[in-house]
Structure 1
Amino acid sequence: MGGRYRLQERIGYGSMGSVHRAVDELLGREVAVKLIASLARTEEERSRNEAEAKVLAQLNHHSLITLFDAGTEVSPSGTSIVWLAMELVQGSDLSRRLAKGKLPARQVAYLAYDLAIGLDYMHRGGIVHRDIKPANILLFDYREDETRLRAKLTDFGVAQMAGDPNPQGDEFTGTAGFMSPEQVRSEPAGPHSDVYSLGLVLLRCLTGERAFPGMAVESALARLFRGPDIPDSLGPEWVGILRAMTALEPAERPSAHEVSEVMQDLTRAGRGRRSTEAFEDPERVRAADELGASAEAEGDPVLDRITALTARLLGVPVAAVSIVGGGQVWTMSGSGTNRGSAGSGESLCPVTVRENAPFIVDDVQHDPRTAEDPLVAASPGFGFYAGVPLRNTDGLALGTLCVMDRRARSLTGEQEATLRDLAALAADVLQLRRDARDARDAAEFLNGEPAVAD
């Protein structure tokens, strides 16, 4: 194509054509070439075929696919072929990734931030994408243990200039599962339409389910009468922004810029920001010190099985249940580590108990929250840490279930859910241990015998 792009295998489909891997023989690099074939004969028809190239030519943003070159070829049969030479993203699209299951909330926030700032750039330039869906979101530099999910928006075949009521006649635009209500009503789709579609994409990422299932017509019509079901289990921050993004009235939705600001906050939420404030809740410290002191005498076989199971399921060399007191950390059970105690400055567990969500550090040596920690600085073989607070029935975080690895890595959404579930089991065991001790102490008191902590 164009005398320089040698087509190789087909790697995907766009809204109006196929996409091939290709080699730019002039510069010796791989590119993606999209082919848009039609029977266009008139200048107006050819102009419509070239619309995507004209849209892409106006865009230059790291969250959007970059256009390198474009042109038109005419085959011997008279078929007009518009070709677009674009950057080749080495990775899957979001649709394929979601086939493996839902994503961790933190990674969804990263993905949403990238897409929101890209849409904000487009909208400020007067361009509306109109077909936001998982298949049009490319993931790059992505591995199963990637510390940061990054995304680029592609396929601008049905994009339009904001304010242009109907530049492509009465053609269907958008994808039924992710269309906005105004698209279903065949009304002009403005920037807030993209925000709605992005909201449905994020909901799919977080829950693993389509917000409006069913056949195309059924799915499209359902959103005219109600908003999507947003589980409260996602947390108030996610519920709030998703409800706003998927409001039925476009004017009630936030802008892409406002979405990006919320997502930037959510990338940090629950990630264990190391607080400089003292965390010395007297009630928590008293309960934790009491539990930790009682744990020094003997181990707990149930906790030992939980830590062994945690290490095996998550594929990590170290898993431990620890109690965090005022100035001491007691390791009650460990797989790949020994029971014992250490000062609170020799562990990341004290940071974990300050959080309302898992404290996850994919690369402790380079993450700004932990890179300067004395423990990390003295442990060059320490690469990864993830911990979940263990709370008693009063809601006090007495300790943690944590996992560690020598290499930097990340947890998938399923692995993070597994860690949460195992932490809940460990917390139940600790509570039962406490209840049993209290019952034994009460019985000894009633019998007039001295109570001895066990």
Structure 2
Amino acid sequence: MEPGFLLSGRYRIEDPIGRGSQSTVYRAFDELLQREVAVKLFRNDGDDLEHTRRQGQEVRILAGMGHHALVTLFDAGSDLSDPSARLSYLVMELVRGPDLRHRTAQGPLSAAHMALIGHDLADGLAYIHHHGIVHRDVKPANILLVDYSNEDRRPRAKLTDFGVAIMMDKSPAEGGGTSGTPAYLSPEQAAGEAAGPLSDVYSLGLVLLEGLTGKMAYPGAPVQSAVARLLQDPHIPEGLAPMWVSLLSSMLARDPAGRPAAREVSLALHQEVVNGAARHRLANVSSASDEEGRMRAVERYRILDTPADGAFDRIAGLAARLFSVPVAIVSVVDHDRIWFKAHHGTDVTEIGRDPGLCASAILQDDTWVIESAATDPRALANPLVAGEFGLQFYAGVPLRTPDGYNLGTFCILDREPRQFTAEDTRTLEDLAAIVMNDLELRLQSREAITR
């Protein structure tokens, strides 16, 4: 199509920005709303019923979707100015920025950037899967990297091109075949079997691996590339961080049953984003003492002077029931006080730092357990043990930030000695992780609002 053509009397066509076997995407200008858009013009082939069906299905899919990681559909129609050459088209948001194929051609992306990009894409896939859609063609060329032309340098990604997507309620025959791009097909697609949501997860795994390494996992001619994944798993370099090795190994399992759902991938990558931000903050911490750094971390989470909101009370109550103990506490250790942000089984909301066992627990790398305080030299003279409270048992897990500071503890107490098994320790650590994850999410939300 020549630049300057006015499509349907509204969309002024400019230069082409993408091309496929069935369509071409142009930059265009919406004369009515005075904005730049992307126009996807379909190949004119009225005799190809399958091609026409796919056009209609792509319109229906995009019209029903609304998510930050999916390209937004604005309009769809046909230009009939020339009866002999009907022009069917979609009008979508214009995403300013390269696609991931062009970006990876310049070399590998950092793990931090791929975590952000992967989180967006997995979140988008989880959304469409929830709505009964399988994309079937997740590849770098269909992933647009957004450039907002401002100071926000956080990589953001949008998934586009739903031309071969299917509804999950279609018959197996409609969902089968090898629709998609050979280098990014799942093993079941390569074998001509029906593609489900976990096929998209596999393809996303190949995309992430390529972004991290700068190399396509299954290069070569289409047939060779498609068949290769039926014979061997992709090579995952040992030099990648353990989190990436574990995640990619599961996403790229040949058996779909061994792969995580897109929502699990999204959560895993979100946690990596959180951890990465914490590592970045750690790299910028001054050479002040550990305690000064720890108190800065406490202040960063804004939990000392916040009113009780009950968020952690239920977790403390759950711990008390699980371990059959009278007291469970979420504590934050201040300069001179220990504040109880949740206190099941006691009305006390604060104690001095010196007699509090939590102050000792935050100095530990692991769970700190005193099974019999009356005989344990670490607690024998403690006022909580020798005084009216009569503490005999304590187990506390440090609430550790991703950058290595202990804010306080998640702890349980009893007036009777008791044994604490390795399984008990893991359970208490899991509960502490829930508390810490909530604090991290609150911090991330505040930082997002202030950006």
TM-score tier (shorter):
0.5 to 0.7
Q: Aligned letter for 1:272?
A: A
State the match for 1:5 in structure 2. Answer: 11
State the match for 1:70 in structure 2. Answer: 76
Q: Which moved more, 1:155-164 or 1:68-77?
A: 68-77
Q: Aligned letter for 1:6?
A: R
1:242 equivalent among 245, 248, 262:
248
CA distance in 2: counterparts of 1:182 and 1:218, whole angstroms: 15
**Does the 8 Å contact 2:219/2:225 carry over to 1?**
yes
- SS at the partner of 1:233? coil
Could you tell me which runs of 5 or more consecutive residues in structure 1 were left unpaired when the two chains were aligned: 277-319, 330-342, 355-367, 370-454
Residues 1:268 and 2:282 are matched in the alignment: no
Alignment of 1:331-410 (within 5 A): 343-344=288-289
State the match for 1:121 in structure 2. Answer: 127
Q: Aligned letter for 1:198?
A: L
How far 1:270 sits from its partner (Å)? 4.0
State the match for 1:227 in structure 2. Answer: 233
Residues 1:31 and 2:40 are matched in the alignment: no
1:194 equivalent among 192, 200, 214:
200
Q: Aligned letter for 2:166?
A: Q
1:135 equivalent among 118, 137, 141:
141
**Does the 8 Å contact 1:14/1:155 carry over to 2?**
no
TM-score by length of structure 2 reads: 0.59
Q: 1:208 to 1:145 in 2, by over 3 A?
A: farther
CA distance in 2: counterparts of 1:237 and 1:45, whole angstroms: 42
**Does the 8 Å contact 2:54/2:164 carry over to 1?**
no
**Does the 8 Å contact 2:176/2:189 carry over to 1?**
no
Q: 1:275 to 1:143 in 2, by over 3 A?
A: closer
**Does the 8 Å contact 2:175/2:194 carry over to 1?**
no
How far 1:275 sits from its partner (Å)? 9.5
How far 1:125 sits from its partner (Å)? 0.3
Superposed CA offset, 1:158-178 (max 9, x none)? 100114246769874111111
Q: 1:66 to 1:35 in 2, by over 3 A?
A: same
Q: Aligned letter for 2:258?
A: E
TM-score by length of structure 1 reads: 0.59
How far 1:274 sits from its partner (Å)? 8.7
1:215 equivalent among 212, 216, 221:
221
CA distance in 1: counterparts of 2:26 and 2:159, whole angstroms: 17
- SS at the partner of 1:32? strand
**Does the 8 Å contact 2:101/2:141 carry over to 1?**
yes
Q: 1:186 to 1:78 in 2, by over 3 A?
A: farther
Could you tell me which runs of 5 or more consecutive residues in structure 2 were left unpaired when the two chains were aligned: 1-6, 302-451
Superposed CA offset, 1:308-338 (max 9, x none)? xxxxxxxxxxxx9x9x9xxx95xxxxxxxxx
Q: 1:224 to 1:274 in 2, by over 3 A?
A: closer
CA distance in 2: counterparts of 1:71 and 1:171, whole angstroms: 29
CA distance in 1: counterparts of 2:48 and 2:211, whole angstroms: 43
- SS at the partner of 2:129? helix
Q: Aligned letter for 1:95?
A: R
Alignment of 1:75-86 (within 5 A): 76=82, 78-86=84-92
CA distance in 1: counterparts of 2:230 and 2:204, whole angstroms: 17
Residues 1:160 and 2:166 are matched in the alignment: yes
1:87 equivalent among 83, 89, 93:
93
How far 1:344 sits from its partner (Å)? 4.6
Residues 1:112 and 2:118 are matched in the alignment: yes
Percent identity at matched positions? 49
Residues 1:147 and 2:150 are matched in the alignment: no
How far 1:39 sits from its partner (Å)? 1.9
